[in-house]
Amino acid sequence: MSASETSIAKVLVVCLGNICRSPMGEAVLSATAKKRGLNIAVDSCGTAGYHVGEEPDDVTITTCKKHKIPINHRARQLARSDFTEFTHILASDSNNLRDIKRVAPDNATAEIKLWGSYLDGKAIPDPWYGSLSGFESTFEQCTALSNAFLDQLEGKQ
């Protein structure tokens, strides 16, 4: 996680495996916030533990590098402490949202929402089984969603 204790928000981006959508979302949101001069902390995780400890998918890394977005993450699974550590938990799709809410402890303080709810209500489709262009559209969607989320955080919406 980047940014300091003075962050205006601590944001956790969540998908299933934490090797495609959410590490890309973390990287893009972090870079977009920096570009806008906003100090937020961003991390990502998966609802499942299949890929814990792994680097992001090769195509996730290639796509971020192509757009000059730094990416550095090791997959981890959603933890109970995340619900109080973070101010916002952003789910990539409705299955993730359901699974996050299912394990949320009673003392959860984070706002838990579909990331797409800040823009158009759409899920981020899983590019895991798709083509290179799938990852490119994931990147574009993450960029649009990052700006929409930050607009709301800044009270512009």
CA 21 from centre of chain: 7
When asked if residue 131 is in the footprint of ligand 4NP (CB under 6 A), the reply is no
- Taking the least distance from each CB to ligand 4NP, the nearer of 12 and 16 is 16
Residue 123 pairs in a beta bridge with none
User: Binding marks (x or -) toward ligand 4NP, 75..114, rule CB under 6 A?
Assistant: ----------------------------------------
50 lies in the binding site for ligand 4NP (CB under 6 A) = yes
Using the structure block, give the residue that is written with the tokens 């992001």.
56
Q: Does 116 bind ligand 4NP (CB under 6 A)?
A: no
Dist. CA 112–CA 123, nearest whole Å: 14
Task: Single out the catalytic residue among 21, 43, 57, 64.
Answer: 21
126 a catalytic residue: yes
Q: Is 15 a catalytic residue?
A: yes
Which residue from 38, 64, 89, 55 is spatially nearest to 139, judged by alpha carbons? Answer: 64
Tokens describing residue 108: 């959860």
Phi and psi at residue 89, to the nearest 5°? -115, 120
Q: Which of 45, 64, 126, 142 is flagged as catalytic?
A: 126
List residues near ligand 4NP by CB under 6 A. Answer: 15-21, 50, 126, 128
Query: Which positions are catalytic?
Result: 15, 21, 126
